[in-house]
Structure formats: C-alpha cells, structure tokens
Amino acid sequence: MADRYLRFTGTAPGRFLTRRLGLPQPAALTRWSPDRPALDGGLLHLTAGRSALGLAPVLARTGIGPAGSGPAAAVVLDATGVRDVEALAEVHAALHPVVRSVAPSGRVVVLGAPLDPADHHQAAAQQALEGFTRSLGKEIGRGRTVNLVRLTDAAAAESTLRFLLSPKSAYVSGQVIEVGAPQGTVPPDGDRPLTGRTALVTGGARGIGEAVAGTLARDGAHVVVLDVPQAEQDARRVAERLGGTALLLDMTSADAGARIAEALPDGLDLLIHNAGVTRDRRLVNMPSERWISVLEVNLASVLRTTDALLKDGTLKRGGRIVATASIAGIAGNAGQTNYGASKAGVVGLVRSLAPRALDEHGVTVNAVAPGFIETRMTAAVPLFIREAGRRMNSLAQGGLPVDVAETTAWLAHPASGAVNGQVVRVCGQSLLGA
C-alpha cells in the first residue's frame, strides 16, 4: 500500500502544512538502482584523536570521490584514536561545522575502536560514541543516516563501508557494527560478487524472501527458492524469473536438513533463514497451538536445519548464514509474545553460534532485524497502527523489502567475513528498542 503521507509531504502544500503543525516530514529515500549505483556527491574524510588506520586507500575504493565545494554525499569520521573525554571534543569540532551541509539521503559514518577492558577511560570515550551516533541519527533528518563501525583493520571493513556509503543502506541508521579480524576474499567481479555461489532462501516465494532472492541473484548467486508446498506456484514463478531452482518442503519437518542436503549435492554457500509466521494474540488469549506453531517455524526449524547443514558439511567453508530476527525480538511488541520470543531466540542463536561456526566451519553467522517493512502483511494492519509503525523511526517512514535484501546481500558478500555475530536492525532507527 502506497504511503500517501510521504507523497503529500513531498509537495509544497504538504511541506508547509506539516511544518506549521510540527508533524513528521519524511524525505523520499535514495535507493540503489542500475541508473543510480552510488550516492550523488563527494566524501568528506575527518579525524578525531590520533589514528593509524590507513583509511584513505579503502575510502578511495568505495566509489565516492573527495567532496568538493558543494554538499557532501557522505562524511566519514575516524574516531578510533579517541581515548579520553578530552578527545571527544574533537568529535564535536569535526562534525559540528559540516552536519548541516550533508546532502539529503547522505551518510555519516563514525569509526570507533573496540572497548579496551584494560583502560576504562578509553572504554568510556568509545562507548560515548555510541550514544553520540544514535542521537545524531535521530536529529539529522532529510533522509540522512548515521552509523557507528567499530574496527581495528581498515581493509577488513571495506565491504561494510561500501555498503554504508551507498544507496543500498538507505533504511539502516543508528546501528553499531563491529568488524573483526580480516576474513574472506575480494571477488574478481565487483558488480556480481556472488558469482559461482549457491544461496538457499527459505520463505523465498513472496514478500521479503522474494526480494532477498532477487537481490542475491542480481549479485550473481544461483538461488534456491525454498517454500512450503502450498506456495508452489509462487516459488516456481520466482525461481524461473531469477534463473534459479524451486525447492518445496516444510522447514518444520524433522528431515528438512537432510532433504536440503539431498537437493544440493554440490553444497551450499549462503543459507538465508527468512521463513516465518505470525499468530498474534495477547498472552491471556493465546492457546498453546499458536505459541508452539510460531516457535516451531521461526526458531526451532532454524536451529535444526542450521545444525544439520553445518554438521554434514553441506554449508561450505567461507559460507554465510543470515537469519531474520525482528525489532519485535529486541524491543517486544504487544500481542506478539510468541513472535517476540522466537525472534529474540534468533538473536541468541547468532551470538552463541557465530564464533564457533567461524572457528570450526569457516562460516559467519549474522542476522537482520527488520522494523516496519511495507509488505502485504503490514498493508492489512489497521490504519492508525500502520501509520504509527511508519512514523516511529528516525526516517519517519516504512522500509521496503529491498532494504532487508540489500542488508542481507552485504552480510552474504565474500568480503564480509570480518562481520560475524552481528544483529543489524533494518528499521530506519526505530524509536523502540536499543
């Protein structure tokens, strides 16, 4: 369903009226397209504190040239050298003069260092960057985003910086992303980095799953569209359009992992857990079957199939697991105790499994956590609840399935091996939750 309010605020009368009434003024976001693969404008590289990152060569490869005299499309502030409260003044001094001039739909990326457990002054100063970044994201407006990346190696963060400094990250704001030691390889074809890789997308026949399948196929992957037998027509339609394969099975079946392995004798590179259901009702009115069905589809099946595909080696070394959590699993949501529990369980899975999966299998494990995304499901939500969902984030609008898909594609990228154990909210910086 079209966001009529967003379109209205894009008109001169709409801007005048919403400004006079103090109403949200969402800006139309610039998203990736073949005609617009990069942000319009240049990049401004700033520093606070003493840094030895050697960031310039990495930024030069992001596809954004140095900022000229006009508005900057992106600002990168290297604050990895900030080690005390006094140095935080340099953060203010660097960004205060330029924030207002960042172009609409522009990007601000702050680079921080991991917290040093042996130096509480450094830890305090670096943690301060998180509060700073989230707060700036809530005030910067005009479709601009602000994110914090903690890193120790600039090259390891290249795929992350490419994503955050591109139109592909339009609905990702207020996030803190930790980048570890260098892992993975840079693919030879930058436009189709997943060439030669096989991706399995569960729940891929419609909605967000269909968008994820399409984006991975765009990036070169052979996509296996998995969905329940009842969705056969849609699954085959999507697979045919993408030059992929349809796989019909119920993920809750005990032998789902074995059947996936049988269908993929040459192995799997990308496992995208997207399948999910809702059975909303307040706990006092929720029968046990509604609780059990949601936990079974959204969490238990994810655990079982992941364990099976790792154990039997179907998921290859260098592979990626990306699971779908939800803002409901982070902040909670009335009427969704079952759904919130299942999606919080996905977060727990990611945080526990990620280090072991990388050490033992060479596979990274991450999650995306969508907020209010414009789908057929949210179009059926009552008007006032739907409008609240759209406006209660820093961008004052709902996201699109492609926003989740682009974030998934970044986490699935061969060069994103240093990103592990992360739960990235695709929510326009929801005003709910952390």
Output the average pLDDT for the chain. Answer: 95
Residue that wins the pLDDT comparison between 4 and 203: 203
**pLDDT tens digits, one per residue of 218-241:** 999 999 999 999 999 999 999 999
How does pLDDT run across 337-396, given as a tens digit for each residue?
A: 999 999 999 999 999 999 999 999 999 999 999 999 998 878 777 778 888 889 999 999
State residue 152's pLDDT score. 93
CATH label, 31-178, candidates 3.10.620.30, 3.40.50.720, 3.30.420.40, 3.90.230.10: 3.40.50.720
Supply the pTM of this predicted model.
0.96
- What mean pLDDT comes out for the span 119-129? 98
β partners of residue 264: none
pLDDT for the residue numbered 190: 85
Residues 129-157 have pLDDT tens digits of: 999 999 999 999 999 999 999 999 999 99
Q: Is-contact 344 297, C-beta < 8 A?
A: no
pLDDT at 1: 67
Q: What is the pLDDT of residues 41-90, one digit of tens each?
A: 999 999 999 888 889 999 999 889 888 878 899 999 999 999 999 999 99
Lowest mean per-residue pLDDT among 47-51, 107-111, 142-146, 411-415: 47-51
Concerning whether 5 is annotated as a catalytic residue, the answer is no
Identified catalytic residue from 5, 132, 163, 339 = 339
**CATH number for the domain whose boundaries are 198-426:** 3.40.50.720
**Is 434 a residue whose pLDDT tops 60?**
no
Domain spans, the chain: 31-178, 198-426
The answer to whether domain 31-178 and domain 198-426 are alike in fold is yes
